[in-house]
Every structure is written in C-alpha cells, then in structure tokens.
Amino acid sequence: MTDAAIPQSDRAYVRELAAKYLDLVHSPAHAARRQLWTDHNALRPTRPPVVFETWSFMEELAPAPVCTSPVGRRIEGHFASALLSEQFTGDDKVFPPYFPVAWNIRYEVFDIEIHREFRKDGRGVDFGFRVDHPVKDLAREIDSLKPGIREVDRELTLEWKETVEDVVGDLMEVRITTPSLPACIPNITFNLLGMEQMLLAMVDCPDALHALHRRICDAHNACLDWLEAEKLLRLNNECTQVPSGGFGCTDLLPADDFAARDRVTTRDLWAHISAQETVGISPEMYGEFVYPYYRELAERMGFVSYACCEPVDRIWPGRLEHLPNLRATAVTKWCNEEVMGEYLRGSNVIYTRKPDPTFVGAGGFDEAAYTAHIRKTLDAARDCRLQFIYRDVYTLCGDPYRAKKAVQMIRDLSEKHWDA
C-alpha cells in the first residue's frame, strides 16, 4: 500500500480521531480503569467492573463514514468504535495507547470446507446462518479427515503495519498483536457433524468421537507450539479484552521466567475456552468427552476464562472446579446464580455475570425489573470477585443512551449494595 491509498482529506480526519483517542487513553480516568482491572484480576477488593459490548449494535450509533478510501475507513473505524463506545456506554473498557495490527494467521484443524448459508436481518446485516455439515458418518469418515493448515502472511501483516505507521505512526506506536488463542473443541465437532450427529456419537460411536476430539486437541497443541516457535505470540496482559470476558490487565502475567526467554509462550497469556454446543449433555458426558481435552489445553496457559453463553453450574463440581489456571467463568441467564455464588465464594475464580440482554435490547426499558435483576446478582455473588459483561444486545430500540443508563445503574447499585 502506498501514500496514494489514502487521500489527504482521509489522512487529516483519521489523525484528528487519533488525537481524540490518545486524549482518552492517556486520561486519568482511563489510568484508573487500567488499575481497576489490574487489581480485580489479581483478586484484590474492587467494585465490580462493567463492560458493555457494542459491536452488535454499533451500526445504530455510528454516523456515516467520513473517509472515502478503504484504508481510511479501516483506520477510521478503529478509532471511531472506541470513541463511540466511550460516548454511548461510559463503561470500564480500556483501550491500548498503540494501534494494534494482528498477525494475519490462517488456522484450520482439518482440510475440509464448511459451507454456510447466511440470512440477513431487517437492516440487511448478516444475522443467522445454516451450516452444511460435511461429515455424515463419523465412524466411517474419521480416518479420512486430512490435517488442515496453519500459516502466517507476514508480508501482508507488515504491509498493513507500514501503511498505518505512515498515517499515524508519529502519534502512536503501531504494534503487532496476536489473535485469540485457539482452544474450542465442541464447536469444531458441531461444524463437522451437526448437533444431532454429535450428540448421538457419544452413544453410537464413542471411540470415534474420542478419536476426533483427540485429533482436534492435538491440532490445537501443535498450533500453539508453532505460534511459540515462530515467535508469533504477543503478550495480552495490558488492554486486551479476553474473548467473552473482561480486560486482561494484570501484573501476574507474564510468567516469572519471561525475562530469561527470547519469546512469549502460552504460559504468559490469557486464553478463552468454551463449550456452548455441549449444553444438552449430562455432566458425566461432558466429563468424558470434553473436559479431559480442555484440562490438557488449560494446563499450558497463564490464565483461562471459561464459557460464553452456556450454563456452568451443572459441570462445576468435580470438573470445572479443577480446570488448571482458571481465573474467570461466565454466569449466564441460564445458570443458577446462587449456586455459582456458593461455588465461587472465597475462590480465585472471578464471577463473570452476563446480564439478560432483553432488558436493554427488547422493547421498553423496565427499570424496576432491571434493578431487581442486578440486585439478585449482587446478592448471589456476595464475597466473590464479580464483573459484569453485557453481550448479545443487537438493538437499543431507538434509545442510543440506553446502554449507558444500564451501565450507570449497575454502578449505582454496586455502590449501594456491594461490599468489596
């Protein structure tokens, strides 16, 4: 990419946005948020941090792009999303003082194409999809699954880095980062088999399913080994959001021997693990077909954040409670809040509450019901380390400041009813 890829008007505008962004990330308030997350992740007493993810409804908040070039719009979008989030949520997100450029990495466990047919919502945005699952008979086809690929396009990554540096490099560092570490297993199985066949395989051909999960786990380990060997890993203990969770600011990572090494390893990093696709199986089946492989992967991580939308209360005893390096677990609307409070009270695992998105994202905003909803969490999580991560809100129902109001209500209720 050359200077011609971004016209002067675009260049001037994104530099204006960059200046506003830097004012935000270097402000005393932002420094206080970083310290909040650092203390919180170290299990020191804090108020519950609050994150309200905006990507799912950002189109309702964002004005039309100002930039006319693809390069300008891409850089504009990075800065604008942070500034809009600050304006319309006022939550505890922390943004890095540098411009992140992720390694362009492609990783596929198997060399097999997964076809998806998408459908759009009323705004014309891709919303739902149907998967054409390629494996029809696992027992017969398991041995025919060919290993996939793992590759990095260094040239493309460095080209984009140089392009951004040309535009804002005199204002801030442009830093190469690493995408989230691969860890999910049931999602890959679901995409290959479909839900019905995946569930039936636990009874009809358990050895084949174990063989599949063994291969996926081995592929993940091999990918992590490759990332380490190629020196592609970067620390994520500053202002990086852990997928489906809070922000990774911590003084407990990297590992103690980091300074003596010439590379980052998985022991220095946060990782995320989830198993939404197993919500319909028994704790015993989870313990047999999923947990052993996740335990193996978790053992090599620094900190692990577990779960997305799935309830974890049924699989906690005897399983997740022993997951190595677990630092946070999601507690969703399908989870028994009180039971999870009992499990996590006094532990070193953060209670990651995912509030019910329908209070904000559907119809009118019932403040009384929402207050009761949040109070219930504050009571259930008493004497735990608690964080609120608001996700899966796809519309603000015409009220652009509804998310900000919801965040402030959590803060007000925490101030009144939470004893850090």
Query: Taking residues 315-338, what's their average pLDDT?
Result: 97
Better pLDDT: 361 or 125: 361
| Mean pLDDT calculated for residue range 239-246 | 94
Mean pLDDT of the chain: 95
Residue 351 burial (CB count, 10 A) = 26
The amino acid that residue 375 corresponds to is: R
Q: Residue 100: enclosing H or E segment and its boundaries?
A: strand 99-102
Q: How far apart are CA 49 and CA 420, in angstroms?
A: 12
Note the CATH number of domain 98-417. Answer: 3.20.20
| pTM, entire model | 0.95
Strand ranges in 38-98 using DSSP code E only, listed in sequence order: 50-52
Output the pLDDT for position 125: 73
**Average of pLDDT values for 230-256?**
96
Beta sheet of 386-390, edge-to-edge order:
50-52, 386-390, 350-353, 326-331, 303-306, 270-273
User: What are 172-202's pLDDT values in tens digits?
Assistant: 999 999 988 778 999 999 999 999 999 999 9
Q: What pLDDT, on a 0 to 100 scale, did the predictor assign at position 179? A: 84
Q: Is the pLDDT of residue 126 over 80?
A: no
C-alpha separations of 32 from 24, 46, 94, 153, 367 in Å: 12, 12, 10, 37, 29
Q: How far apart are CA 218 and CA 110, in angstroms?
A: 12
pLDDT surpassing 50 at residue 302: yes
Q: What percent of the chain clears pLDDT 70, i.e. is strictly above it?
A: 99
Q: Are residues 1 and 163 in contact, defined by beta-carbon separation less than 8 angstroms?
A: yes
Non-local CB neighbours of 102 within 8 Å, separated by 6+ positions:
157, 176, 177, 178, 179
Return the number of other C-beta atoms located less than 10 Å from residue 4's C-beta: 8
pLDDT per residue as tens digits for the range 394-403: 999 999 999 9
pLDDT at res. 310: 95
Q: What is the pLDDT of residues 246-287, one digit of tens each?
A: 999 999 999 999 999 999 999 999 999 999 999 999 999 999
Domain residue extents for the chain: 98-417
pLDDT digits (tens, 9 = 90+) for 42-73: 999 999 999 999 999 999 999 999 999 999 99
